[in-house]
Amino acid sequence: MVIRHARADDVEAISDLIVRTKRLNNEFDPLFAVAPDAKERAEKYLRTSLAAPGHLLLVALEGKKVVGVLKAEMRERIFYEPRNEGRITDFYIMPEHRRKALGDEMIQQAAAELKSMGAEIVVADVPAQNEIANRFYVKRGFRALINQFAKGP
């Protein structure tokens, strides 16, 4: 398995994985209903991220096939110390490649790269009801930092 920075020619495959993770989020909560044009939105989001400073986009490859993606970005926490945050916003590994240390490797590489970009803290966005993801991060030393509450229409 190879983990590397994403390239423009990876965008189509990565956008499929991003949409998969968004659909998975919808399974946990109906307020994560996926837009009908999610694939096109994902492609635009990824192309913008590839060109933007302060963004990190990693892919995991098995041969030439993209089997995992991790997207992160730098943010400033203007009222808090540590101030510079690396935020993992999207992370998905194909089911057949889970539980084989790939997730650990991707998180470790992302954390190292985010720290080299100035991150003093690394956080991850995860739907509250996704207990599998919550356990994954806790097992790797993360802890809950913020609760976000929503009220539907």
Domain 2-139: which CATH number of 3.30.70.20, 2.60.120.10, 3.40.630.30, 3.30.420.10: 3.40.630.30
User: How remote is the C-alpha of 47 from its chain's centroid?
Assistant: 15
Q: Which residues are CB-neighbours of 98 under 8 A, at least 6 positions away?
A: none
Complete edge-to-edge strand list for the sheet that includes strand 2-5: 2-5, 55-62, 65-76, 84-93, 121-124
pLDDT of 103 reads 95
The token pair that represents 69 in the structure block: 């993606």
Domain residue extents for the chain: 2-139
92: nearest Cα among 15, 9, 1? 15
**What is each CA distance from 66 to 5, 9, 136, in whole angstroms?**
12, 11, 21
Q: Long-range CB contacts (< 8 A, 24+ apart) of 131-138?
A: 136/103
Tens of pLDDT along the chain (153 residues) come to 999 999 999 999 999 999 999 999 999 899 999 999 999 999 999 999 998 999 999 999 999 999 999 999 999 999 999 999 999 999 999 999 998 999 999 999 999 999 999 999 999 999 988 999 999 999 999 999 998 899 887
